Chain A
């Protein structure tokens, strides 16, 4: 139960910060979400995102910052084995499930659905 509570609060806080950026600045959704993703990558570099996932579970894996974290983590992991080349080969190591799912599902959805009249 505490696991779900932590997920709810942390996931909610990510959204809350995003909302405040939408409402209190002139940043567009594109700016804010790109920023979140970049932030996830930076937190991964500082070794902070994994502890957050340990604490909040899906509260940290569901926000888009998790995508940035996974990209960076993949790059760092391969880099520790293969050096600089690993940065290139490891980039999509952990995110390929999400990206593949997004592309395939997006494509299939466009075949099935139409924009609402």
Chain B
């Protein structure tokens, strides 16, 4: 976001006044809810990881993959049934930070824009929110990998 605008004294005064009148979010309650929700999602993920390790005879390292895929499925289904947004209203980052939140952002976009068609609606919009995560993950990984390849 650009912040290169001139701020007049009048604007600055009003910004201060508006800040005084703008309520603070309930930080403590939100933090506790996010911690518990984020923790519970991880516990479910751990259970799935252990389950796949046992059923498919995978190393815990490898069992993480189907566990993540399953969590994405769960996130997608909860979004489809219209539950995820309600839960996330309570849990906040507890449901935004885990991969289920990544799935939610993809499915929410795809659902919302399916009425604009399968190509420009579903296909084009699916990564409107999740795209940034992929882009900055890949760009970071690229430079980290490049650094490792050159500096080693």
Q: Which residues of A contact B (CB under 8 A)?
A: 3-4, 7-24, 29-30, 32-38, 40-42, 44-45, 53, 56-59, 61-68, 71-72, 74-76, 78-80, 83-84, 86-87, 90-91, 97-99, 101-103, 105-107, 109-116
In whole angstroms, how far apart are the Cα atoms of A68 and B79 in the complex? 23
In whole angstroms, how far apart are the Cα atoms of A28 and B27 in the complex? 16
In whole angstroms, how far apart are the Cα atoms of A24 and B41 in the complex? 23
Neighbour of B46 across the interface among A33, A59, A110, CB < 8 A: A59
Q: Which residues of B contact A (CB under 8 A)?
A: 25, 27, 30-31, 33-50, 60, 64-69, 71-73, 76-77, 79-82, 91-94, 96-103, 106-107, 110-112, 114, 122, 126, 129-130, 132-142, 144-150, 152
Task: Evaluate contact between B147 and A45: CB separation under 8 angstroms.
Answer: yes
Task: Evaluate contact between B68 and A16: CB separation under 8 angstroms.
Answer: no
Please, which residue of chain A has its CB at the minimum distance from the CB of B147?
A45
Q: Is the contact region of chain B dominated by helix, strand, or loop, or is it mixed?
A: helix
Task: Evaluate contact between B137 and A41: CB separation under 8 angstroms.
Answer: yes
Contacts of B112 in A (CB 8 A): 115
Contacts of B71 in A (CB 8 A): 62
Task: Evaluate contact between A113 and B149: CB separation under 8 angstroms.
Answer: no
Contacts of B43 in A (CB 8 A): 4, 7-8, 11, 58
Task: Evaluate contact between A80 and B148: CB separation under 8 angstroms.
Answer: yes
